[in-house]
A and B are shown apart, each in its own frame.
Chain A
Amino acid sequence: MTDLIQLLVAGLATGAIYALVAVGFTLLWQTSQTINFAQGEFVMVPAFFVLAAMKFGGLSFPVAILVGIAASVLILGAVFKRLLVDPMIRHGVLPLVISTIALALFLKEGVKEFYGAEAQSFPALWTTTHVTIAGAVVSLQNLVIIGVAVVTIAVLQWFLGRTRTGRCMQATAQNPALARILGIRVERMILYTFLINAALVALASLLISPIYLAKFSNGETLGIVAFIAAIVGGFNQVRGAIVGGLLLGVIDNLVAAYLSTQYRGAIPLFLLIAVILFRPQGLLGRAEERSV
């Protein structure tokens, strides 16, 4: 029983990270049909912005964090859209897929060349004390991560649903042509989603780097898992991403603990295939939104 709680909490914490990454992925897809194969690397990079700011800029950790987030939003948000997405958006999904694959390689190798292959330890935002819940020992970190992720996505939900800009963004996502007619500045709305995505991955980066450590190869698995989480939860659903993420995190742990460690990676994939074939709108998705 304690084991189970242990597994659940740990799984939820990992899942919360997946969720943060998946949400941004979903946003990009909705507004610009961008399948970003570099999403994982996007999570890896901000940590290095922060480290670089501290190492070369000699900034203090808090300042460095702000710099890091700013840099991410600028480079992984605005610049990414300008230089890669905009020129290719008219030409369908595939060229963009290819360039994001190349971008992933570019970021990975870039970080490795200019900062080193070694995993860098990253200062934690809070003390790594443990608390005991129903006999299960849970690190404060995990709880914070879950909390932050849930709050962030709740806020995002509110923003998209309740604020004017948010609703314009949703309109843009659902029917760009109509949105344009309604006088919504579609281009800007799309830009916003890219900025939000960049902010989210930066946040994820800050949350995980103390545990994952900052390493050039961190993005490799993360990106794919985020895709799976996004689709399982519902490709057209911000809410879906967090469900998908948490579900994946938990499943991974339960499978590893009770079924097979060697095939721990397989179950999410079966889940993915099942969802796509029998419920393409995702677990939380609404049927009429399915873009199959």
Chain B
Amino acid sequence: MSALGNSVRGIVAVAACAVLIAAPFGLKPYGIYLLSMWAVMTIAAIGLNLTLGYAGQISLAQASFVGIGAYTAAILTTHGWPFAAAFFLAAALCLAVGWLLGYPALRVQHHYLAFVTLAFTTLVFLVLRNEEWLTKGIYGISNIPRPAVFGWSTQAPRDFYFFCLGVLAVVSFAMWRLVRSPWGRAFMALRENPMRASSLGVDTRRYTLMAFAIGSSLGGLAGALYAPLVQFIEPTAFALGLSLNLLLMVIVGGSGFFFGPFLGALVSVLLPEWLRFTEGFYLIIYAAMVMVLMVYCPAGLLGLAERLLKPAAEDRSVLTQSDKDPGA
């Protein structure tokens, strides 16, 4: 990205942080709840953005990792486990499952991969719904406690919001480091030209699995926060709908752009609420807006921003690249 782009991104980032910290003091619990939901969804979307945006592996399974994470946290904490343990176990579990889900990606790409992961999401939903002995089935798990962090109780909405924001900050920093490390470079190489990457010693196989594993574990973290945020979980919340929604966040925000998920989650979580004054029409209008947005900036909001910042460069969106590549 150009220096101009960087500076603008910097300014926006700082402004956003200021708003995020100040906001809860001006908001009622409802607004704070929405912001917390935004933070949680952003974490999940950041994970998907790594898998899809940077490494170019389409996944419609992110919802099931949010689900696995949420259920791990809910089941353990309602059985008296400390939240921290549940939190990291959720991430670890998703890391492992994500790694396994990566194997199909070594055989197939693009829409085929999309459908394998889509199938996975639905299978996980069926298990969550039907294995009542473990998940309480369709009844869901209620009264999920909110954690106390080093003696600081996050029971109150604002406290829990800051807890989510804290996790988001840590995750963002880690991701920032990751995509800027040689790994991030290798992921992008994987996305843009796996064959060339391999001829340069990039172990495409391992990086593909890694992209799935890390992306999924972030989904798990998001889930582990979702459970105590809503304090009730049931299987339908983690069905295909959420996966598509997370995909929407990544694409709308700008796939392969670091700040894409933040923006995408903003659109997906806040825009519908914002449109509620239109009563019954809010979802219709929301859908229409998404379509228009995609028509006018297929590379997502940040893709548009980038284009506006340097009009010289013709549109060469990350997506076009990742999709035109022959793949495995």
Contacts and interface: CB of A to CB of B under 8 A. Distances in A.
Direct contact of A and B (CB under 8 A): yes
Interface majority SS (helix, strand, loop, mixed), chain B: helix
Given A109-B284, A265-B122, A94 B295 contact: no
Interface centre among A93, A101, A228 (most CB of B within 10 A): A101
A109 B287 CA distance: 9
Contacts of B255: 94
B328 interface: yes
A270 B122 CA distance: 11
Contacts of B111: 29, 35, 93
A90 interface: yes
A95 B303 CA distance: 12
Given A269-B122, A276-B116, A88 B104 contact: no
Nearest to B322: A92
A266 B114 CA distance: 17
A83 B324 CA distance: 22
Most chain A CB within 10 A, of B109, B129, B287, is at B287
Interface in B304-327: 317, 319-320, 322-324, 327
Contact of B287 (A94, A106, A272): A106
A256 interface: no
Given A83-B295, A224-B118, A105 B126 contact: no
Interface in A255-291: 262-263, 265-266, 269-270, 272-273, 276-277, 280, 291
Interface string A175-205: 0000000000000000000000000000000
A277 B116 contact: yes
B108 interface: yes
A263 B129 CA distance: 10
A149 interface: no
Nearest to A83: B295
Contacts of A103: 287, 291
A113 B130 contact: no
Nearest to A227: B115
Contacts of A276: 104, 108, 112, 115-116
B244 interface: yes
Contacts of A90: 320
Contacts of B122: 224, 265, 269
B144 interface: no
A109 B107 CA distance: 38
Contacts of A292: 107-110, 112, 327-328
Nearest to A84: B291
B274 interface: no
Given A102-B288, A231-B112, A280-B107, 12 more contacts: A92-B298, A94-B58, A101-B248, A102-B286, A102-B290, A102-B294, A272-B116, A273-B104, A273-B120, A277-B116, A292-B112, A292-B327
